[in-house]
Amino acid sequence: MTNTAAEHPPGAAAPEELELAQLIVDALNLEVAAADIDPTAPLYEDGLGLDSIDILEIALVISKTYGVKVRAGDENNSRIFSSLRALSRYIQEHRAA
């Protein structure tokens, strides 16, 4: 059985979360190591400290990398982008095979 994000405790990132964290670090030129990003910490403001422009950049990179579209007006965006873990889960659920 493979490990999934749902099976990982709060501070420990699953492999797909680490991959996504590295994608975010690279896309936004963040000065933090991907492994240091708490998968349950907020992406906005407190936590990783991203703003709405950063989230748009991430949505574009996710679309290019994983084929998953996140629409700007989606009422679920606050939930989708609430944490690295939530975003990773959304990508895994909506990823093109």
Q: Helix H segments across 1-97?
A: 15-28, 52-66, 77-80, 84-94
pLDDT of the residue at 7: 52
Domain that holds residue 78: 11-94
pLDDT at 97 over 80: no
The pTM for the full model equals 0.84
Specify if 2 maps to a domain. no
Residue 11 binned pLDDT confidence (cut-offs 50, 70, 90): low
Specify if 3 maps to a domain. no
pLDDT tens digits for range 49-82: 899 899 999 999 999 999 999 887 888 899 999 9
Helix axes 15-28 and 52-66, enclosed angle (nearest 10): 120
Q: What is the count of structural domains for the chain?
A: 1
Specify if 46 maps to a domain. yes
